[in-house]
Amino acid sequence: MSEIKPNIIARYNLIILAFVLLGVSVVIKAGVIMFIQKDYWEAVADRFTKENVPIMPNRGNILSADGKLMASSLPEYRIYMDFKAGGAVKDSLLMEHLNEICEGLHRILPDKSVAEYKSTILRGRKQQSQNFLLYPKRISYIKYKEIKQLPVFNMNKYRGGFHNQAYNNRKKPFGSLASQTLGSVYADASLGAKNGIELAFDSLLKGKEGITRRQKVRNKYLNIIETPAEDGCDLVTTIDVDMQDICEKALIDKLREINGHVGVVVLMEVETGEVKAVVNMMKGKDGNYYEMDSNAISDMLEPGSTFKTASIMVALEDGYITPDTEVDTGNGIRQMYGSKMRDHNWHRGGYGTIDVTQIMMYSSNVGVSHLIDKYYSKNPQKYVDGLKRMSLDQPLNLQIIGEGKPNIKGPNERYFSKTTLPWMSIGYETQVPPLNILTFYNAIANNGVMVKPKFVKEVIRDGRVVEEIKTEVINPKICSESTLKQIQEMLYRVVHDGLAKPAGSKQFDVAGKTGTAQISQGAAGYKSGTVNYLVSFAGYFPAEKPKYSCIVSIRKPGLPASGGLMAGAVFGKIAERVYAKNLFLPLANAVDTVSNRMHTPKVKAGETAETRRVLSELKIKTEVASAGSRNRESWSRSTQTDDAVQLEQIEVSPELVPNVVGMGARDAVYLLESRGMVVRVSGVGKVHRQSVQHSTKVRKGQQITLSLN
């Protein structure tokens, strides 16, 4: 027993020594790692772990007033191939299906031939590249999904080698419509937005970055989210897509007709100040018109005769004149401090003696300048103070960036001479942006209340309104009630009996004022042969109960130049089309009083289910022929009988150009673009001609023009 005990103690001591040595070695090794090998192990850790990797949020959408998507971030892709992935098995599959892959790529991306795709893939295979670019451009999500169905490419990236790099790209479904107002963003999302609503509301749209930690486990990276990204808010604008389209088409048609250089239209809701449409068109080098700048809010030009309304309002408000005050305008030419003031009809003998209402109706320069000079020449500051009472000198502090500040000179400022006051009264020697002029006329329509123009009305997060932007009042009363009524009557007479008849309508009353101004060409001044003109019309409709105000402003070279015939005509078209858009008649008006039966309407060709749904809502009997496609999506043409609409289904092949004559623009564009064609549309109504014959073979990327009537 005594012999066993020393053996146990010896073994115990041996174990204790082993643990001591192990502990010392661990401490020594830890010290070596912590101090001597620190840099090496930090480098190893970096290869397996990445801290604080940012997660980019999705940028918020911009919506129209009625919820249509106007700007959204959609993914785009560059496609790559890893020729080392999958080893010999993948390589043999690639060579076996090479022709099929190249033909598929050509079908989806037809700008490169089958031979070019084959050469590209073989070059990458020879290089054994792990990140070989297969196609030089970014492609859409739809095309990426199509390519992903091709042989080998449909395998996961570790076996097949096909992979992508995703980009967030800002898309505008309505193309250039209101593009300057919506604004744009930089290609690099981290740089934010460039202009327009995108820039003004960038902090809300861009959201907040999240943070993730990337950990490599068993040769794969895992993303461990520490702080999730917060997507940007959506914005609901005041823009009405249909009204924007109406304004744009009417303006461009007139610009082409008169060879205009720049055109602006702003349509605003009177009571709320919501801007329903804003168009900024400039002529490009190719002769077409594009949105290049925010002219409606930034152009600092002499407004011309649209400013006369403000001058007459000041004199009425100060009690110097009444609508019946007469002025002898003579032969249309009057000497004013050594310079000649002319009426537009001076070469025809002028207007003679006319009252203030007629001065406005005929836009007499002599009449307005004589009155303002007569009553304010000894105290010009009183006239300027009158303009300031109407807030015409104040910036609007708009939601979007880039507005110009009105420049209305005072008598104590430089270059204010004897001639300044009379010329200022008719819209010269002062600069006011078009939107500021419209805001003034909108106040006249709004019973004297001047409201701030508004471009965005709601901020939405996750489908819930988090901020509603209220209408802001700039000036609660620009003038007295009596002056307001007198000005409203004058503006009505300008359109009804004066020079602005083209702006009027037979359906409702319009009120407003024309403007025609020469634009100084810098050092050349207003010399003959160098003069451009600004023709404009600002007004509102319906005059008896104003709903919308609108300004049309066009810059053009040389004569003829007429605010009424040019800008007024554009205003008239816009007013009638917008009025018709909001015109809802009782369905009972469609009843035949003789037979007491409902008239069957003419129905455009289009998607069958949608057509049937509309006719069903209108309680119009519908008969559908049994022949035709039974696919989920089917198309039909209609014929009318006395008591029903008959829909005859038509076959539409994905390989052939469809016959879209008789369809509305929306159905026709959808049908053609879904087959890979590039569609251009001109006119309004339904399609009456297509440039590519139907039933011919579809070629992806082929252009087709649709003429609507």
Structure tokens at 3: 């012999």
**Which of 538, 557, 581 lies at the terminal end of a domain, its last residue?**
581
Task: Sort strands 635-640 and 606-607 into parallel, antiparallel or unpaired.
Answer: antiparallel
Are 524 and 565 within one domain? yes
Total domains in the chain come to: 4
User: CATH number, domain at 672?
Assistant: 3.30.10.20
Q: What is the pLDDT of residue 694?
A: 81
Specify whether 662 is located in the same domain as 615: no
Q: What is the pLDDT of residue 632?
A: 57
Contact 378, 321 (CB under 8 A): no
| End-of-domain residue from the set 602, 620, 651 | 651
Do the Cβ atoms of 568 and 595 come closer than 8 Å? no
Quote the CA–CA distance of 182 and 176 in Å, as a whole number: 10
Whole-Å CA distances, 595 to 590, 598, 599, 652: 12, 9, 10, 39
Which parts of the chain have pLDDT scores under 70? 1-6, 37-53, 188-190, 213-223, 520-530, 583-600, 625-633, 642, 683
556 shares its domain with 623: no
Residues 506 and 613 in one domain: no
Which of 619, 651, 683 is at the close of a domain? 651
Statement to judge: residues 414 and 428 lie in one domain: yes
In a domain, 262, yes or no: yes
Beta pairing, strands 62-63 & 69-81: antiparallel
In a domain? residue 457: yes
CB 537 within 8 A of CB 552: yes
Residues whose CB falls within 8 Å of the CB of residue 347, separated by 6 or more in sequence, listed in order = 332
658 and 635 both lie in a single domain: no
pLDDT at 170: 83
pLDDT at 65: 92
Token pair 């037809």 in the structure block, residue: 110
The CATH number for 306's domain is 3.40.710.10
Q: Same structural domain for residues 473 and 616?
A: no
Determine contact, residues 209/115, Cβ cutoff 8 Å: no
* 366 belongs to a structural domain: yes
The alpha-carbon radius of gyration of the chain (Å, integer) is 36
Written as six digits, the tokens of 150 are 């091709």
Give CA torsion, residues 5, 10, 15, 19, to 10 deg: 130
Distance CA(198)–CA(400), nearest Å, equals: 9
Q: Is 594 exposed, middle or buried (0-12, 13-18, 19+ CB in 10 A)?
A: exposed
Residue 159 resides in a domain: no
Q: Which domain holds residue 614?
A: 593-651
In angstroms, the CA 63 to CA 328 distance is: 55
| SS3 annotation, 257-312 | HHCCCEEEEEEEECCCCEEEEEEEEEECCCCCEECCCCHHHHCCCCCHHHHHHHHH
Q: Residue 23: enclosing H or E segment and its boundaries?
A: helix 4-31
Query: Are 452 and 576 members of one domain?
Result: yes
**Both 603 and 629 in a single domain?**
yes
The count of residues in the chain is 709
Q: Residue 416 domain-assigned? A: yes
| Whether residues 293 and 354 fall in one domain | yes
Q: Are residues 529 and 397 in the same domain?
A: yes
Instruction: Measure the CA–CA gap between 492 and 513, rounded to whole angstroms.
Output: 9
Q: Which residues, in sequence order, are CB contacts of 564 under 8 Å at separation 6+?
A: 499, 500, 501, 502, 503, 514, 537
pLDDT digits (tens, 9 = 90+) for 238-251: 999 999 999 999 99
Query: Does some domain include residue 314?
Result: yes
Residue 352 in domain = yes
Model pTM score: 0.71
Model pLDDT, residue 442: 98
Residue type, 691: S
Residue 518 and residue 555 in one domain: yes
**Chain mean pLDDT for the chain:** 86
Structural domain contains residue 340: yes
